A and B are shown apart, each in its own frame.
Chain A
Amino acid sequence: MITLLEARNIGKRFGGLQALSDVSLTIHKGEVYGLIGPNGAGKTTFFNVLTGAYTPDGGEFVFNGSELPVGKPHKIVGRGIARTFQNIRLFRDLTALENVMAGHHVRTKAGVWGVLLQNRFTREEERLTTERAYELLRYVGIERFADVVSKNLSYGDQRRLEIARALATEPQLLALDEPAAGMNATETGQLKLLIDQIRRDGITVMLIEHDVKLVMGLCDRVAVLDFGRKIAEDVPAVVQKDDAVIAAYLGGGKHAH
């Protein structure tokens, strides 16, 4: 198994709150890796540190064999890590197609002069961006809404659009922050198929999720965070039976708070 991402002793502190302490984990190429834990355990903080939205207080990320730059989101996206947000963050006034086209920004190069002169390179790049964006909309199943302004899409479709936009950055690792939040059973089922498809297409997926059924059915391995610490990491069936995990979720035991 090839290691794609290695987090080494990541720490992050907000004032008096230790949001992450010494979190180390390894994600292999091609797997779906779940990150679970009670509310406030530090899952989203981990995503934010990984994608450069926050700078960690300690530790480092090694991605594809070399260290990730700290606190430079656009460079991290350039290296091949894309994310979605827990509370959907689309470009509200752009159409679905344009949202995905914007996602392709980091893989395109046209500069001011190219745009002003509309040279062949720029036109060709723009054409490819449009085509690719359309393909991605079809991939997530909302191509019929290409022309719809994204704020007018239904909730489930907005979630799909956000995934399409993240895929447009051509990532190797796709980090999904609670993609099934607020979805009904049918939509969750479709989402599961989509994530399966993404994995089959060779993109490693990292997943924060509360829906236990989804996590257990989808993930190859799961890490559990509690109060900023990793308390377990294994295949779902083992994690499910782990005493510390059960205590963290239900309270009691030596982890009683």
Chain B
Amino acid sequence: MNELVAAVPWLGKRNPTAARWLIIIVAIAAPFIAWQFGRSWVRILDFALLYMMLALGLNLVVGFAGLLDLGYIAFYAVGAYTFAFLASPHFGIHLPFWLILPLGAAFAALAGIMLGFPVLRLRGDYLAIVTLGFGEIVRIFMLNLNYPVNITNGPQGINMIDPIVLFGWDLSRNIRIGEDFTINSLFLYYYFFLAAVAASILFIQRLQISRIGRAWAAMRDDELAAKAIGINTRNMKLLAFALGATFGGVAGCLFGAFQGFVSPESFSLMESIAVLTMVVFGGMGNIAGAVVGAFALALLPEILRDVAVPLQQTLFGHVLLDPEVLRMLLLSLAMILMMLLRPAGMIPARARYCHDHHLSNTLKREAAK
């Protein structure tokens, strides 16, 4: 949160309290603003929040621990399929949401460790290639595990997944208050996802400025020196993979329940790259960067798509460029612009990770002596 506050232009440094409230108000008011443009925009906001969670989790692996992961979407898939298996007519199991969420997180963490073990000694390009392969393996498993025993239902995917039910309160139903006032289910999901993202930010921030976060940063900056001061780099790498995957798994659970349908095609390599682009675009190793990057890159293509399709129809009479093609085009364009103008991302990572107040307290005590 502090990083986010500091990232608010102009206000962030002058009046952090005001900036904090501004962020809270904007976050709460966002779906109401989006609603004015149509319900699909609220849906896009919901997805933006899921992408934020993914970007936060991937940022932990890539930005904090310096382990380039090109297969991150596999953990999202593990979470989504866990939810689909345990809460849909596919196997006829309908477990409660609060039970599946930790299970999904745990399975994803396990997948993270499974990926982590073989790549412990790899760095940089080699690591990227292996993780890329891992992501594809998971997707291909999902695609082909419908024969001889039908587990994943193959390319058709699994549908009619149960919605999120919190203590008997179904988030997929609109709430009707009185005669003519309803709260759309998209709003309910928005606020639930917002709470999840807020919790993720809190946890990841705590990790970042802890003993563990410092060990990751040390490992990222110089692995040999990290070993020489007694950091068990093997465990710390596995921990980074497992924790990063956990956030992906939780986001996947939420995605499965929200969408009501999962299929392997949602977890392609392009999605991994899109999430990585968000992290890099926002600024690696930086919570605010991941949030802003995810928000910008989830929303911008949709806005431009909304503009581009009617624009093309007016100009050429028909649509020349498919919106999906346009999306990748825009992501690439964003990356090129970023490399030229802000090589460290929209919000470059601050160098300092430690508790500001610890230091300032110490310094104050020193001055008092």
Contact = CB atoms under 8 A, between A and B. Distances in A.
Interface of A: 51-53, 73-74, 77-78, 82-83, 85, 89-95, 97-98, 101-103, 105-106, 108, 110, 112, 115-116, 118, 122, 125-127, 129-131, 134, 143, 146-147, 149, 165-166, 168-169
B218 to A, nearest CB: 4
Contacts of B355: 126, 130
Contact of A53 (B218, B227, B349, B354): B227
SS class, residues of chain B in contact with chain A: helix
A51 B228 contact: yes
A98 B230 contact: no
SS class, residues of chain A in contact with chain B: helix
B11 interface: no
B359 A74 contact: no
A91 B218 contact: yes
A114 B347 CA distance: 29
A29 B207 CA distance: 39
Q: How large is the interface on B (under 10, 10 to 19, 20 to 34, 35 or more residues)?
A: 35 or more
B225 A91 contact: yes
Contacts of A134: 359, 362-363, 366
11 contacts: A53-B227, A89-B222, A89-B228, A94-B352, A102-B214, A102-B215, A118-B206, A130-B362, A131-B362, A143-B366, A149-B351
A83 B228 CA distance: 7
A143 B228 CA distance: 23
Given A91-B222, A92-B222, A131-B362, A106 B354 contact: no
B212 A112 contact: yes
A122 B222 CA distance: 26
B217 A126 contact: no
B229 interface: yes
Nearest to B366: A134
A76 to B, nearest CB: 8
B364 to A, nearest CB: 12
A105 B215 contact: yes
Contacts of A126: 210-211, 355, 358
B35 interface: no
Interface of B: 203, 206-207, 210-212, 214-215, 217-218, 220-222, 224-233, 239, 243, 349, 351-355, 358-359, 362-363, 366
B124 to A, nearest CB: 17
Given A53-B227, A134-B366, A74 B232 contact: yes
A226 B217 CA distance: 38
Contacts of A102: 214-215, 217-218, 226, 229, 231
B225 A85 contact: yes
Contacts of B359: 97, 130, 134, 146-147
B351 A95 contact: yes
B354 A98 contact: yes
A165 B229 contact: yes
Nearest to B214: A102
Given A129-B211, A165-B229, 12 more contacts: A73-B227, A74-B232, A82-B228, A89-B225, A90-B221, A95-B352, A98-B354, A102-B229, A105-B229, A106-B229, A131-B362, A134-B362
Contacts of A105: 211, 214-215, 218, 229-231
A101 B231 contact: no
Given A97-B354, A98-B217, A126-B211, A106 B230 contact: yes
